[in-house]
Amino acid sequence: MSFRTKFDEQLEKLNKSLVEMGETVEKAINDATKALVEKDIELAKKIVEFDDEIDEKEKEIESQCLKIIIQQHPVAGDLKLVSAVLKIITDLERIGDHAADISEITLLLAEFPYIKELKHIPQMAEETMKMLTKSIEAFVNKDLELAREVITYDDVVDKLFLVVKEELTELIKEDVKNTDQAMDFMMIAKYFERIGDHATNIAEWVVFSLTGEHKNRKIM
């Protein structure tokens, strides 16, 4: 087996592991949203515990990356790709943390009637999952245009956050008793906004892996 063939096999395995971690994190977001909407306490507890599994996946991929760097001594183009993976898994792990954070708040909220119908928060979840899926797809397919599309799409999530913020502010003005729950929902919306930011970060690292530039600054 040639040096390049072995290296390509390692990269393919790395891509597969990254996709699997992305799918795991996406499931965490989806389940966290479902637990919130349906007040599913048992599901929320599982997501909080599931965060450890996501952390383990990050460590496994990090180990794969370091092994490639030590064994293969990748040149600039391949090194950009491996370096991007190390950054991407950090964002994926943080997204998993936020899914767990949302579920911890759900455990507090589920005991009481909600002060509002959950409409825009689940929309935020849906949009962030789209961003995450597309950012990973852009990496695997080396699709620069798709990565840039994800970066632009973050505005959609930001606008939804502002809508949620305005609605919750109005509910507090209507009745001060709504304050505690409104602040909890505000925090959940903020976590979803951060998930969108992390998906954007992933897309920006995809751009880096393909161009050597990150946020308009040439690195390699």
pLDDT the model gives residue 220: 45
Tell me if 124 sits within 8 A of 161, measured CB to CB.
Answer: yes
Specify the pTM.
Answer: 0.92
Q: List b or e across 184-214, with b for residues whose CB sees 16 or more CB atoms inside 10 angstroms.
A: bbbebbbbbbbbbbbbbbbbbbbbbbbeeeb
pLDDT the model gives residue 178: 96
Evaluate the CA torsion angle 35, 37, 38, 39 in order and state its sign: positive
All structural domains of the chain with their residue ranges: 3-218
- The beta strand positions in the chain, using DSSP E, are 213-214, 217-218
**pLDDT tens profile 14-66:** 999 999 999 999 999 999 999 999 999 999 999 999 999 999 999 999 999 99
**What span, in angstroms and rounded, lies between the C-alpha atoms of 87 and 217?**
16
pLDDT the model gives residue 93: 97
High-pLDDT (> 70) share of the chain, %: 96
pLDDT the model gives residue 110: 93
Enumerate residue ranges in the chain where pLDDT < 70. Answer: 1-4, 216-220
What's the CATH code, domain 3-218? Answer: 1.20.58.220
